[in-house]
Structure 1
Amino acid sequence: MSTLVTSVEQFNQLLEKYPKMAIDFKAVWCGPCKLISPAFEGHAKAQKEALKADSTKTDDIVFVTVDVDDLPEIAEQYKITAMPTFKFLVNGKEVDELIGANKGTLEIKVKGLLGVKTQAPAAAPAAEENKAAEAA
């Protein structure tokens, strides 16, 4: 489960503690936020379960939720203009962003933050082989 941020101080403490942070900026009145929230929560839960299953892994990532109406100062700091918006930080610096409720793109960006490489589409390698055959 993600951590619901309730204050700027809490947010800053989490930012200092964890090298990687995935942030879900949302609002209670936002329909698309309600649709994608379970996917974000699923990624947070999967990460916690992976840590429990493998004691050699370090807990270096936190998934947080920020309600833009409750904490407008954080939303302004990250220039949030639409919801949902997901920001991905490494060592406090933004490395990626997703605006909108696209579950597939969210998964790719979370895996990128975790350092897990996503597989290329199945057609891509075949296309490369065809180019190599044509060149020969």
Structure 2
Amino acid sequence: MATVELTGENFQQVVDESDIVLVDFWAGWCGPCRMFGPVYERVSERNPDIVFGKVDTEAQQELAQAFGISSIPAVAVIREGVAMMAPPGALPERALEDLIAQARGLDMNEVRGRVDAAGTEQ
């Protein structure tokens, strides 16, 4: 599956309509981002059931700010509407595949319980 450009206009719809969304935060001037791009594309082709989105942090600054992006490349996993950040930096192909396996294996009832508990503690 090809990657999808995510913008402020389509972001919520894509998340609402998809079980798992990976989001690559990048910029055209970023060398590591350009190196990570082909890795991201290859992995997307092997995982057609997942939406692989890309957010150009220069053009979509509000989305980048909403995720607290301070360095790029950065990858977020959104599963059933719950966002989780991967460690920043250009992930090797195997690490990206491992991240996907971890996302698939999450018990979302447990994750939502932790999110709810964290929200009540504040």
- Partner residue in 2 for 1:2: 3
Match of 2:91 among 102, 110, 113: 102
- Partner residue in 1 for 2:40: 40
RMSD: 1.7
Structure exhibiting the larger radius of gyration computed from Cα positions: 1
Aligned equivalents of 1:31 and 1:73: distance in 2? 22
Amino acid at match of 2:98: I
Report how far residue 4 of structure 1 moved.
1.4
Structure 1 length as normaliser, TM-score? 0.70
Gaps of 5+ in 1: 49-58, 116-136
Aligned equivalents of 1:62 and 1:83: distance in 2? 20
Superposition misfits of 4+ residues, deviation over 6 angstroms:
none
- Partner residue in 1 for 2:19: 19
Amino acid at match of 1:67: D
Contact 1:86-1:99 at 8 Å conserved across structures: yes
Q: Percent identity?
A: 28
Structure 2 length as normaliser, TM-score? 0.77
